[in-house]
Amino acid sequence: MLVIGVVGQKPTAIGVGVVLAGLGGLATAASEHFAGYRSHTTLLAGTVFVLIVGGLFYLAGLILAVCLGMGAVAFLAAFFALRRAFQRASGGLSFKVGRLGG
């Protein structure tokens, strides 16, 4: 979709391509996180923040300051829940960093 959008100069196709790429990356991050391979706590909690703020602002019509406050609360709740989930999956580690060498 990205290629079709860029070549054909179609902004909607570019938007769909970006969303599909983002969903693919999010699926990989979630599977790695819940398998205990790599911690993606902040990325996944940030996704919760964006969904909450966007939903409240665009769908519920609340003012932005209220949406950001509620999004921050949702981020913190998701962050601690996701961190605990990773700790259970990884055997007690709160984060994991891969080797740099090879």
Domain that holds residue 21: 2-90
Which structure tokens are listed for 3? 């290629």
pLDDT tens for the 102 residues of the chain, in order: 888 888 888 899 999 999 999 999 999 999 999 998 888 999 999 999 999 999 999 999 999 999 999 999 999 999 999 999 999 998 887 776 665 554
Domain annotation covers residue 70 = yes
Q: Which pTM does this prediction carry?
A: 0.81
Asked whether residue 100 is domain-assigned, the answer is: no
Domain total in the chain: 1
In a domain, 45, yes or no: yes
- Domain-embedded: residue 95: no
Does residue 84 lie within any of the structural domains?
Answer: yes
Angstrom distances, CA of residue 60 to CA of 64, 66, 68, 69, 84: 11, 11, 13, 15, 31
Q: Say if residues 51 and 67 touch (Cβ distance below 8 Å).
A: no
Q: Do the domain assignments include residue 60?
A: yes
